[in-house]
Chains A and B, each alone.
Chain A
């Protein structure tokens, strides 16, 4: 591929020296804003998930003015709410050998050595504070009989460091952050703007100084000026159409910042989660995740014989292949997500998949029921089993679950430095929307940790460093940049409404999702990706001639909202494919069939690709410029990941 490459301009800005003291030293070097001056600064926080709500409430507690936006009717519905399994922290309560260093090491290794050491170490260091904060808020974590906090195991680790609240950990952590946010709204330090969608970033003299939102009820375009913008808008798994994400999750805010100059890093690193309810057909609107915690007690298997159509209870033990336990005896069913997903795909490709489509494997609790008893299994998993039964009509107490991998989380996102600032000064990016901590594969129970770490414990320090260099309130909404940006947004809205074609936005989204899933999904080859890039371009051209968006722009119009998101996905989809083609190695979730071992494991190319690929928008979605941030591994020895 003919690429324009820029080297040497991206630096994380993390201090050198011992990794254990980098954050402490950096915090001391960060500039501070005087307490009396904080109220003069306004921070625009876009999103109210774990990252957004924790950042907005904490900045308000410090004394800043915060304007907080969300697309839902209330901040409590942000998609963090759906996280089930848990949140990691290096508390070492079970006394089983955990430490900050081990969480750091597991995360770097789990990410297949494509994450930044400084950020990951900081994440591990701060993890324990998050649990303290959440408990103080009244988050009802699971407890032992003695009253101490309970832990369980998650994939990619051999210690139990995951804290949980039944199968609703994300909900409880989000409600904790939401409660702090509501307190700040009551105090008048946060102004809440629900049902607003950010449609563009206002950049003045190279700095992020505002946003344009669409009021989703009235259709009005609104201008908001601030001294900094925090983007906490989540990931882009719904680019595949079918994913475990909420149907309104989207990349529009992030993508429009990208088009204003923020680099987009590692877009092809997409996590395909192994334990989801399998796809059924064209009318399905989303896929449902079954928590990874099920792999603590459930055993994953397929028949040894391809084409074995017997019911699971009629297949004797010696004709079953517990393939994860067989291939990875050390970690068994608790291998990291990318490894489990690939293995499931592999056995299905061999014709050994089960269920109506052959694209499923069993997750069986028969042995757990025998070992633990019905009551214990029910106590641990009842809400998940119930959810499965509601969807499929089958009870996992009686028959094995059927599961298959599905798009779940995006490790890629807007590039940020150690201060979480993007390449546009003043624009900071938190949580899943940034790229920084998970490399090429995220470990289970680490997303909640990162979102809250960014919001509670990183941005409150690093944002001050930026603001200390800015005179407060210098740009108001009557600045020409606001008028120009609003005109761009209005042009985009009008253009969508004027096409009046024959196909719905959903048709295009479905087609894009299938193209990406088939060739830029769990396994990728250069020919397939090249072909897909061409097809995405054609689809995008067709979209702009043939999409039909009914209604008008001046009132609630869900078709218009959706069409705008699909339009952005048709560009981001191409960048994902370009990145997947460019990264001529396998790593983590990015498996290139031309770079795998005899056993089908990914083979990295550290000599040539030990870097973050950060893409700059050039105006033409097909011709992005590549910036490379070299990754240094001073503390963790680069090795082949081994879970055997």
Chain B
């Protein structure tokens, strides 16, 4: 790459280590050398883990998969910010050129009571799946679908639904929220289906059930801090939370 700022950099890392949810955890300091500006943040952690493995030490557990910003699996708190300092970017997209050589970087897991810790930087986000199970779908069995073009959907409506559907389920909205609310995550799915004709039949039931499970899973209430929108790697708008509220209110008048 022509723009690569070559040369090696070094960093001090303070990483949260915790063997499981029942044991106490602590920040442990590590030093990494020979880091290239072009390396991704996760490749820097790979490099650290290789060094630890060679010494026979347990590597730092962290999760990632696609490493191109779409699977939603990566997600850690870097210097206090979910997914790190660059807006609208997943952790895997973050490059080391964003960090001055010699810097100390603090790395912690997403923290929320609805995301129990598994190990080190790995948390359990299955509460999101359970919220989806409560209504994040259109009840249509395979084989029942009508001809796709039988139902015209305006371009602007399709685009707006896509804006909400773009959520990758990473959980940064929850991790950034002082109340650990899942309102942005839930609102995005509610809005997608509230906009589309396919979502109308179950609109009331969906909002009622998803909100109930969201509460039951231990996510907090939304009090309009707006941190979620700022932390969202896909720039999901806080407007989705307004729609969530509207749709929930709608359930109260439609029994």
> Interface of A with B (CB < 8 Å)?
54, 57-58, 61, 72-77, 79, 81-82, 91, 93, 129, 131-149, 165-166, 168, 170-172, 175, 178-180, 182-183, 185-186, 192, 194, 217, 246-248, 278, 280-281, 283-286, 288-289, 355-356, 387, 390-394, 402, 456-457, 460, 500, 502, 504, 506, 548, 550-551, 555-556, 558-559
B187 at the interface (CB under 8 A from A): no
CA gap between A50 and B141 in the complex, in Å: 16
Please tell me which one of the listed residues A168, A194, A392, A550 contacts residue B57 in the complex, with CB atoms under 8 A apart. A550
B148 lies within 8 A of A143 (CB):
no
Contacts of B199 in A (CB 8 A): 138
Q: Pick 9 A–B contacts, CB within 8 A, sort by A.
A: A77-B169, A81-B70, A132-B148, A136-B138, A165-B162, A288-B67, A390-B69, A556-B118, A556-B122
B93 lies within 8 A of A391 (CB):
yes
B30 at the interface (CB under 8 A from A): no
B70 lies within 8 A of A138 (CB):
no
A550 lies within 8 A of B53 (CB):
yes
Contacts of A74 in B (CB 8 A): 125-126, 128-129, 169
Interface contacts beyond A93-B149, A171-B168, A506-B46: sample of 18 additional A-B pairs, CB < 8 Å, sorted by A: A57-B142, A61-B142, A133-B142, A137-B137, A180-B137, A217-B118, A246-B67, A247-B65, A280-B38, A285-B40, A285-B46, A393-B95, A394-B1, A504-B53, A506-B50, A548-B53, A550-B57, A551-B58
Measured CB to CB, the closest approach of chain A to B20, in angstroms, equals: 8
Measured CB to CB, the closest approach of chain B to A90, in angstroms, equals: 13
Measured CB to CB, the closest approach of chain A to B74, in angstroms, equals: 10
Pick the 10 closest A-B CB pairs, nearest first: A147-B152, A179-B137, A136-B145, A132-B145, A393-B3, A140-B162, A186-B133, A246-B65, A140-B161, A135-B148
Please tell me which one of the listed residues B40, B66, B69, B155 contacts residue A145 in the complex, with CB atoms under 8 A apart. B155
CA gap between A510 and B128 in the complex, in Å: 35
B27 at the interface (CB under 8 A from A): no
A72 lies within 8 A of B138 (CB):
no
Please tell me which one of the listed residues A132, A289, A548 contacts residue B146 in the complex, with CB atoms under 8 A apart. A132
B195 (CB) vs chain A CBs: closest residue:
A140
B148 lies within 8 A of A182 (CB):
no
Measured CB to CB, the closest approach of chain A to B52, in angstroms, equals: 8
Contacts of A289 in B (CB 8 A): 68
Contact status of A180 and B65, CB under 8 A, knowing A137-B198, A138-B193, A217-B118: no
B198 lies within 8 A of A135 (CB):
yes
Contacts of B95 in A (CB 8 A): 390-391, 393
A559 lies within 8 A of B53 (CB):
yes
Please tell me which one of the listed residues B2, B71, B161 contacts residue A82 in the complex, with CB atoms under 8 A apart. B71
CA gap between A103 and B245 in the complex, in Å: 46
B211 at the interface (CB under 8 A from A): no
B64 lies within 8 A of A247 (CB):
yes
A-B pairs with beta carbons under 8 A, tally: 226
Interface centre among B67, B137, B140, B169 (most CB of A within 10 A): B137
Measured CB to CB, the closest approach of chain B to A370, in angstroms, equals: 23
Contact status of A182 and B129, CB under 8 A, knowing A73-B124, A391-B93: yes
Please tell me which one of the listed residues A136, A355, A394 contacts residue B144 in the complex, with CB atoms under 8 A apart. A136
Contacts of A559 in B (CB 8 A): 53, 59
**B residues 105-160 with Cβ under 8 Å of A?**
118-119, 122, 124-126, 128-129, 132-134, 136-149, 151-155, 158-159
CA gap between A180 and B136 in the complex, in Å: 9
Interface centre among A145, A175, A456, A559 (most CB of B within 10 A): A175
**B residues 13-48 with Cβ under 8 Å of A?**
19-20, 36, 38-40, 42-43, 46-47
CA gap between A205 and B5 in the complex, in Å: 61
Contacts of B73 in A (CB 8 A): 72-73, 77
B54 at the interface (CB under 8 A from A): yes
Contacts of A390 in B (CB 8 A): 69, 89, 93, 95
B66 lies within 8 A of A246 (CB):
yes
Please tell me which one of the listed residues A278, A286, A506 contacts residue B67 in the complex, with CB atoms under 8 A apart. A286
CA gap between A57 and B144 in the complex, in Å: 14
A54 (CB) vs chain B CBs: closest residue:
B142
The size of the chain B interface, using a CB distance under 8 A, is: 81
Contact status of A73 and B154, CB under 8 A, knowing A182-B132, A283-B47, A548-B56: no
B138 lies within 8 A of A73 (CB):
no
B221 at the interface (CB under 8 A from A): no
B243 at the interface (CB under 8 A from A): no
Measured CB to CB, the closest approach of chain A to B149, in angstroms, equals: 5
B59 (CB) vs chain A CBs: closest residue:
A559
Contact status of A136 and B140, CB under 8 A, knowing A93-B149, A141-B158, A246-B67: yes
B68 (CB) vs chain A CBs: closest residue:
A288
A149 lies within 8 A of B196 (CB):
no
Contact status of A168 and B166, CB under 8 A, knowing A77-B71, A280-B4: yes
B97 at the interface (CB under 8 A from A): yes
Contacts of A558 in B (CB 8 A): 59, 61
B222 at the interface (CB under 8 A from A): no
A77 (CB) vs chain B CBs: closest residue:
B71
Measured CB to CB, the closest approach of chain A to B237, in angstroms, equals: 15
CA gap between A506 and B50 in the complex, in Å: 8
B149 (CB) vs chain A CBs: closest residue:
A148
Measured CB to CB, the closest approach of chain B to A186, in angstroms, equals: 4
A179 lies within 8 A of B138 (CB):
yes
B192 at the interface (CB under 8 A from A): yes
B165 at the interface (CB under 8 A from A): yes
User: What 1/0 mask marks residues of chain B from 170 to 203 whose CB sits below 8 Å from any chain A CB?
Assistant: 0000000000000000000000110010110000
A179 lies within 8 A of B2 (CB):
no
Please tell me which one of the listed residues A137, A248, A394, A550 contacts residue B3 in the complex, with CB atoms under 8 A apart. A394
Please tell me which one of the listed residues A75, A138, A144 contacts residue B138 in the complex, with CB atoms under 8 A apart. A138
CA gap between A565 and B53 in the complex, in Å: 17
CA gap between A57 and B65 in the complex, in Å: 24
B134 (CB) vs chain A CBs: closest residue:
A186
A75 lies within 8 A of B118 (CB):
no
Contacts of A81 in B (CB 8 A): 66, 70-71
Measured CB to CB, the closest approach of chain A to B90, in angstroms, equals: 10
User: What 1/0 mask marks residues of chain B from 77 to 108 whose CB sits below 8 Å from any chain A CB?
Assistant: 00000000000010001010100000000000
Contacts of A170 in B (CB 8 A): 70
CA gap between A550 and B60 in the complex, in Å: 12
CA gap between A556 and B95 in the complex, in Å: 27
Please tell me which one of the listed residues A79, A284, A548 contacts residue B43 in the complex, with CB atoms under 8 A apart. A284
CA gap between A402 and B3 in the complex, in Å: 12
Please tell me which one of the listed residues B19, B59, B72, B140 contacts residue A137 in the complex, with CB atoms under 8 A apart. B140
CA gap between A142 and B56 in the complex, in Å: 51
B215 at the interface (CB under 8 A from A): no
B239 at the interface (CB under 8 A from A): no
CA gap between A54 and B70 in the complex, in Å: 20
Measured CB to CB, the closest approach of chain B to A386, in angstroms, equals: 9
Interface centre among B69, B134, B148, B168 (most CB of A within 10 A): B148
Contacts of A134 in B (CB 8 A): 148
Contact status of A76 and B58, CB under 8 A, knowing A172-B165, A179-B132, A504-B50: no
A147 lies within 8 A of B137 (CB):
no
A503 (CB) vs chain B CBs: closest residue:
B54
A143 lies within 8 A of B153 (CB):
yes
Measured CB to CB, the closest approach of chain A to B212, in angstroms, equals: 13
B63 (CB) vs chain A CBs: closest residue:
A73
CA gap between A138 and B119 in the complex, in Å: 36
Please tell me which one of the listed residues B36, B125, B162 contacts residue A166 in the complex, with CB atoms under 8 A apart. B162
CA gap between A355 and B53 in the complex, in Å: 34
Measured CB to CB, the closest approach of chain A to B184, in angstroms, equals: 16
Contacts of A72 in B (CB 8 A): 65, 71, 73
CA gap between A75 and B40 in the complex, in Å: 25
